[in-house]
Chain A
Amino acid sequence: MAADAHQAKHFEEGLKGASETVAEFHETKSPLKRIQHWLHQTPSAVPMIVLVAALIVFGLLSDNFFKAATLSTILQQIAIVGILGCAQTVVILTAGIDLSVGAIAVFSSVLMGQMSFRYGIPAELSILIGLALGTGMGAINGLLIAFLKLPPFIVTLGTWQVLLASNFIYSANETIRSADVKESAPALQLWGLSIQPGGVRVLFAVFLLIVLVAIMAYVLRQTAWGRHVYAVGDDPEAAALAGVKTRAVLVQVYALAGFFCAIAGWVMIGRFGSVSPTASTGQLGNIQSITAVVIGGISLFGGRGSIVGMFFGALIVGVFEMGLRLVGTDPQWTFFLIGVLIIFAVGVDQWIRKAAA
């Protein structure tokens, strides 16, 4: 009885004289470990370094590279992918994936156009309807994933096809011409407008992208909701036990992604002028945005990375495309190098994870 307990205490007497401190934090000292630790804390550092290196290399290779016009064109070209990347970032942070981003963007842009041209709704209201419908499409993804527990890859593979097909059926494959949009619904082309400080044309769309990234960086880092997004991606069961409403967070994340896609759809009208159901974004938007996210150092396993990294990732793709074109190589080298970068980025992600443990 009591002797048992005595016995139990007895073996611990050997502890006397042992160090009293439990669980001290030891700072790691080796330089490599320090780099790992720093990368762990600053996930956007890798893409930033790659970006700066790419800028320097292309600046040396091509005299025309460091011109304001070139840099502004790069930004212009990543505007849509960057906004889709914002959508993809929040989804991938929850360890999900959204293959339907491009389809939602194109369908939303078609809906905005058709609201105005088929039903005569004022352009401003059409835009709001398009944004709401895009959000709804994202929410459907979220509901299927959170409540039916279907894998995000499968759900969005399905909705990608369904939405893209609906887009073609609904629009009867008809493009609304740029001149018509300009004449009767100019608000649809808002993001194609530009300011020209010192003769360099900067699209509104570029400012929009930067503002969206800044807002999302704040939301993900500085609000409870943002922390919950990371927690859900990190370990959903732990998050639920700790009091995070994981299903609500998932639905909100996919709905927000749908909203960003609809914004991207609106920006597409500004960039291309016309409203086209056959825009290549419908097919390629998902792969392009996933590429930006992965090169940006955001872990496909969820819970790690920053949206600023995604922005750098999108910029890297833009810089490679432009730089290689200016240098005059075969454009296939762009895809070659981006492929290498993707594998490199995922390798670094794995290394950081290992180092962290």
Chain B
Amino acid sequence: MTREPILKGRNLVKRYGKVTALDHCDFDLYPGEILAVIGDNGAGKSTLIKAVSGAVAPDEGDIFLDGKKINFTSPIDARAAGIETVYQTLAMSPALSIADNMFMGRELRKPGFMGKVMRQLDRPAMEKFARAKLNELGLMTIQNINQAVETLSGGQRQGVAVARAAAFGSKVIILDEPTAALGVKESRRVLELILDVRSRGIPIVLISHNMPHVFEVADRVHVHRLGKRLCIIDPKRHSMSDAVAYMTGAKVPEDMNEFA
């Protein structure tokens, strides 16, 4: 494969005290693909994702975006670079409205004096944008965009979080267990949403424990084990039981890099 990865990690190391969460781990995400990251609990998936999304600074190793070395010190840096992450916890403020949450940390201000000097938020513009994005993703029929997030169901909250990432993520979208808390119907919607985002050319990193979901949407599957990338497998050529066997150590892949 001659394409250059859009997001690349090399030799990433992260230690928490005596625990090595990332042990010289590599990571590659190619343009336009859905890369699933699977691994057993404690394999270091979350740390890997936090490292590439700026939430955690790796102790060693380099991360490249579009071939350029980057050094994120906070999720804000990663966001500014076009990497949006939907965390498992969703990172939303329950008491604030949908619109407030979608624009948290990147609020729009009114033009002219009111915005520049009085720092007034442009609420109508933010509400219109939030409504448009939610509708565009076909996620919901909104009656009140000023509704507090805590009044939404789990699926609705997930929808708002994915819509936020899809609305602002220009380069990469990272989804951490997006369907873990959802029902069958809502999971289906989120999977459709993921495919929809890919069809717009934005690559996605999908962290999930749900093998049927992973095998349905992923183009490649990154199997994480003991803090590093064990192998990358093609979901069309491997079965779910193979994947589970690799990630739990029950089986050793013959060719570590067959599809890297």
A interface vs B, CB < 8 Å? 1-2, 4-5, 7-9, 12, 15, 18, 21-25, 27, 37, 40, 218, 222-225, 227-228, 230-231, 234-235, 237-245, 303-304, 356-357
Point out the residue from A5, A9, A22 that lies within 8 Å of B140, measured CB to CB: A22
- Given the interface pairs A224-B107, A224-B109, the reply to whether A242 lies near B91 with Cβ below 8 Å is yes
Given contacts A231-B96, A243-B106, 12 further A-B contacts (CB under 8 A): A8-B216, A15-B188, A23-B140, A25-B144, A223-B119, A225-B119, A227-B121, A228-B104, A231-B104, A234-B94, A242-B93, A243-B79
- B147 on interface, CB distance cutoff 8 Å: yes
Number of residue pairs A-B, CB distance < 8 angstroms: 142
The 3 A-B pairs at the shortest CB distance, nearest first, are namely A243-B105, A8-B212, A241-B91
Query: Which residues from 151 to 172 on chain B have a C-beta closer than 8 Å to any C-beta of chain A?
Result: 151-153, 155-156, 159
Report yes or no: B239 in contact with A227, Cβ–Cβ below 8 A. Answer: no
- Chain A residues lying within 8 Å of B211, measured Cβ to Cβ, are 4, 8
Report yes or no: B159 in contact with A242, Cβ–Cβ below 8 A. Answer: no
Report yes or no: B185 in contact with A15, Cβ–Cβ below 8 A. Answer: yes
Report yes or no: A4 in contact with B96, Cβ–Cβ below 8 A. Answer: no
Report yes or no: B93 in contact with A231, Cβ–Cβ below 8 A. Answer: yes
A238 to B241, CA, bound (A): 35
- Chain B residues lying within 8 Å of A230, measured Cβ to Cβ, are 93, 95-96
- B139 on interface, CB distance cutoff 8 Å: yes
A160 to chain B, nearest CB (A): 29
- Given the interface pairs A23-B152, A241-B91, the reply to whether A224 lies near B141 with Cβ below 8 Å is no
B216 to chain A, nearest CB (A): 6
Nearest A residue to B236, CB-CB: A2
- B57 on interface, CB distance cutoff 8 Å: no
A68 to B186, CA, bound (A): 60
- Chain A residues lying within 8 Å of B89, measured Cβ to Cβ, are 237-238, 241
- Chain A residues lying within 8 Å of B143, measured Cβ to Cβ, are 25, 27
Report yes or no: A242 in contact with B101, Cβ–Cβ below 8 A. Answer: yes
Report yes or no: A242 in contact with B121, Cβ–Cβ below 8 A. Answer: no
Report yes or no: A357 in contact with B150, Cβ–Cβ below 8 A. Answer: yes
Nearest B residue to A219, CB-CB: B119
Report yes or no: B105 in contact with A1, Cβ–Cβ below 8 A. Answer: no
B95 to chain A, nearest CB (A): 5
- Chain A residues lying within 8 Å of B159, measured Cβ to Cβ, are 22-23
- Give the size of the chain B interface in residues (CB under 8 angstroms): 58
- Chain A residues lying within 8 Å of B236, measured Cβ to Cβ, are 1-2
Nearest B residue to A224, CB-CB: B107
- Chain B residues lying within 8 Å of A244, measured Cβ to Cβ, are 104-105
- B195 on interface, CB distance cutoff 8 Å: no
A356 to B215, CA, bound (A): 38
A223 to B110, CA, bound (A): 10
A303 to B55, CA, bound (A): 23
B77 to chain A, nearest CB (A): 10
Point out the residue from A1, A18, A37, A242 that lies within 8 Å of B238, measured CB to CB: A1
Report yes or no: A22 in contact with B155, Cβ–Cβ below 8 A. Answer: yes
Report yes or no: A241 in contact with B87, Cβ–Cβ below 8 A. Answer: yes
Report yes or no: A239 in contact with B93, Cβ–Cβ below 8 A. Answer: yes
A37 to B212, CA, bound (A): 39
Nearest A residue to B238, CB-CB: A1
Report yes or no: B237 in contact with A234, Cβ–Cβ below 8 A. Answer: no
Report yes or no: B155 in contact with A23, Cβ–Cβ below 8 A. Answer: yes
- Given the interface pairs A23-B155, A25-B142, A25-B144, the reply to whether A9 lies near B93 with Cβ below 8 Å is no
- Given the interface pairs A4-B240, A15-B185, the reply to whether A303 lies near B121 with Cβ below 8 Å is no
A23 to B75, CA, bound (A): 28
21 A-B pairs (CB sep. < 8 Å): A1-B236, A4-B215, A8-B215, A9-B212, A15-B188, A21-B141, A22-B139, A22-B189, A23-B186, A24-B141, A25-B144, A218-B118, A228-B104, A230-B96, A231-B104, A238-B89, A238-B92, A239-B91, A241-B89, A242-B93, A357-B151
- B81 on interface, CB distance cutoff 8 Å: no
- Chain A residues lying within 8 Å of B155, measured Cβ to Cβ, are 22-23
A317 to chain B, nearest CB (A): 26
Q: Which of B89, B104, B211 has the most CB of A within 10 A?
A: B104
- Chain B residues lying within 8 Å of A21, measured Cβ to Cβ, are 140-141
Report yes or no: B185 in contact with A227, Cβ–Cβ below 8 A. Answer: no
Query: Which residues from 201 to 260 on chain B have a C-beta closer than 8 Å to any C-beta of chain A?
Result: 211-213, 215-216, 235-241
A18 to B185, CA, bound (A): 9
Nearest B residue to A225, CB-CB: B119
B173 to chain A, nearest CB (A): 15
Report yes or no: A25 in contact with B147, Cβ–Cβ below 8 A. Answer: yes
Nearest B residue to A238, CB-CB: B91
- B90 on interface, CB distance cutoff 8 Å: yes
A341 to B156, CA, bound (A): 37
Nearest A residue to B53, CB-CB: A241
A214 to chain B, nearest CB (A): 13
Point out the residue from A223, A224, A227, A241 that lies within 8 Å of B75, measured CB to CB: A241
- Chain B residues lying within 8 Å of A227, measured Cβ to Cβ, are 96, 100, 104, 107, 121
- Given the interface pairs A40-B148, A222-B120, A237-B89, the reply to whether A242 lies near B239 with Cβ below 8 Å is no
Q: Return the CB mask of B126-145 against A: 1 if under 8 Å, else 0.
A: 00000000000001111110
Nearest B residue to A355, CB-CB: B151
